Amino acid sequence: MTHTREPTAPESARTARPRRTTALFISLVVLAACAVGGGWWWYQHRDSLPDCTRLLDDRNVRRALAPADGENLDCAALAARLRKTATSGRTDRHTPGQVRALTSVLTAVDHAMPEGPKAVLRIDPELRVPLAKTLAEYPADTRAIIIRPVTVSAGDEEGQDGQGPQAHLSVSSTVLVRAMRAASESTQAFSTLHTAHVEAGIALLNAAPPGAGVDDVKIKARVAACALGTLDAIHHDALRDAQDEDDPEQEQATDRQISDWVVDPDTQMNHHLSNWAERRGIDPDSGEVNNLEHDVRNDQNTSAQTTDDILNPEF
Q: Residue 90 has what pLDDT?
A: 93
Computed over every residue of the chain, the mean pLDDT equals 79
Distances (CA, A) of 44 to 179, 240, 247: 21, 19, 17
pLDDT bucket at 74, cuts 50 / 70 / 90: confident
Is the predicted pLDDT of residue 99 greater than 90, yes or no? yes
Rounded CA separation 174/110 (Å) = 9
Mean predicted confidence (pLDDT) in 131-157? 81
Q: Residue 148 has what pLDDT?
A: 82
Burial 215-243 (b: 16+ CB within 10 A, else e): eebbbbbbbbbbbbbbbbbbbbbbbebbe
Chain centroid offset of residue 255 CA: 17
Q: Residue 252 has what pLDDT?
A: 61
User: Could you report the per-residue pLDDT of 205-248, keeping only the tens digit for each?
Assistant: 999 999 999 999 999 999 999 999 999 999 889 878 777 666 66
Rounded CA separation 196/141 (Å) = 12
Q: Residue 10 has what pLDDT?
A: 52
pLDDT bucket at 26, cuts 50 / 70 / 90: low
**Whose CA is closest to 174, among 313, 61, 314?**
313
**Whose CA is closest to 75, among 54, 58, 60, 59?**
54
Q: Residue 270 has what pLDDT?
A: 86
Of 5-9, 130-134, 254-258, 277-281, least confident by mean pLDDT is 5-9
Q: Are 82 and 130 in contact (CB under 8 A)?
A: yes
Burial class (CB in 10 A: 0-12, 13-18, 19+), 28: exposed
pLDDT bucket at 164, cuts 50 / 70 / 90: very low
Q: Residue 269 has what pLDDT?
A: 87
Radius of gyration of the chain (CA): 27
Phi-psi region of 155 (alpha: psi -120 to 50; beta: other; left: phi over 0): left
Rounded CA separation 165/151 (Å) = 25
Rounded CA separation 178/146 (Å) = 12
Q: Are 102 and 169 in contact (CB under 8 A)?
A: yes
Is the predicted pLDDT of residue 275 greater than 60, yes or no? yes
What's the pTM? 0.76
Mean predicted confidence (pLDDT) in 37-45? 40
Q: Residue 24 has what pLDDT?
A: 52
Q: Residue 141 has what pLDDT?
A: 95
Is the predicted pLDDT of residue 43 greater than 70, yes or no? no
Is the predicted pLDDT of residue 44 greater than 50, yes or no? no
* Other C-beta atoms lying within 10 Å of the C-beta of residue 259: 11
Rounded CA separation 252/230 (Å) = 22
**Whose CA is closest to 226, among 292, 290, 307, 160?**
307
Is the predicted pLDDT of residue 104 greater than 80, yes or no? yes
Rounded CA separation 315/305 (Å) = 17
Q: Residue 48 has what pLDDT?
A: 41
Q: Residue 156 has what pLDDT?
A: 40
pLDDT bucket at 249, cuts 50 / 70 / 90: low
The amino acid that residue 118 corresponds to is: K
Rounded CA separation 87/99 (Å) = 8
